[in-house]
Amino acid sequence: MSNSVIKNCMTPREELPRQLVLSTGVIAWLVLILAWVLLAASDIVPDMFLPSPVQVFEAGVRLAENGTLMTHIWSSFKVVIIGFVISSAVAVPVGLLMGSFRIVQAFLEPLVNFIRYLPVTSFVPLFILWIGIGIEQRVTVIIFGVFFQQLVMISDVSRGVSKDLMQAAYTLGSSRRDVVMHVIAPASLPGVLDTLRVTIGWAWTYLVVAELVAASSGLGYISLKAMRGFQVDVIFLAIVIIGILGLITDQFFRILRARLSAWAS
């Protein structure tokens, strides 16, 4: 490694060679897996509480062979995506309005700030009573856990758009609607995509909450079922799969931001 590369590594926000970035990420994964293998092989944690990566992989193969693994993955993926899309479709325009118009902010912000601190888990029994135990209940948990956080974050993004851009648009004869649609919304796009990228992670987190109660399929469901049967390898399998799916959706929004708002990079 040359001195210039070493210097760049120690300089804040300095660009690094792509090969170095990729290899560093691979090393991080290898260190994590190696630590897992060593810890599982040691006597520090009993085998019944910490399965090895091989045991987790074998559990995945076992569930894949009997045809249930993909069913549970698809069930969870469907719940997260439906809930996240519904939440985002409403939160993005409303959040932009909150950040753009003080009257909308004054009306919604006190209520939103109150609701977003309420524990999602405490509403699960109510959702079951109100909605039932189908997929609608699980989707509602995702929406409730994500929507109000998205509103606050997107309104902050909208509020951060430079007033100079807005004044320049007014000077050129733009209407208020034009300013919102053609100035505030495009300028907020990078921040909105960053918000969606963060909150999709929260959606995967709330998935387990949604599926631990009154579910008949999904990764959260098999985790609870495995806990009752003390199948720790299946619990770890569900955790790993949720992490992988979350990483995939995270990369999707990372790529989407790079494509749609490369000018903000």
pLDDT of residue 31: 93
Return the domain boundaries, the chain.
3-41, 53-264
Closest CA to 153 of 209, 201, 207, 210: 201
pLDDT of residue 262: 75
State the fold for domain 53-264.
Answer: MetI-like fold (1.10.3720)
pLDDT of residue 165: 81
64: Cβ contacts below 8 Å, ≥ 6 apart: 70
pLDDT of residue 86: 96
Whole-prediction pTM value? 0.88
Residue type, 74: W
Long-range contacts of 250-256 (CB under 8 A, 24+ apart): 250/197, 250/200, 250/201, 253/193, 253/196, 253/197, 253/200, 254/197, 256/193
Q: What's the rounded Cα separation, in Å, for the pair 67 and 184?
A: 48
pLDDT of residue 210: 84
**How confident is the prediction for the chain on average, in pLDDT?**
87
**CA distances from residue 60 to 36, 41, 49, 54 in whole angstroms, order as listed:** 17, 20, 17, 10
Mean pLDDT along residues 14-29: 83
pLDDT of residue 1: 59
pLDDT surpassing 70 at residue 2: no
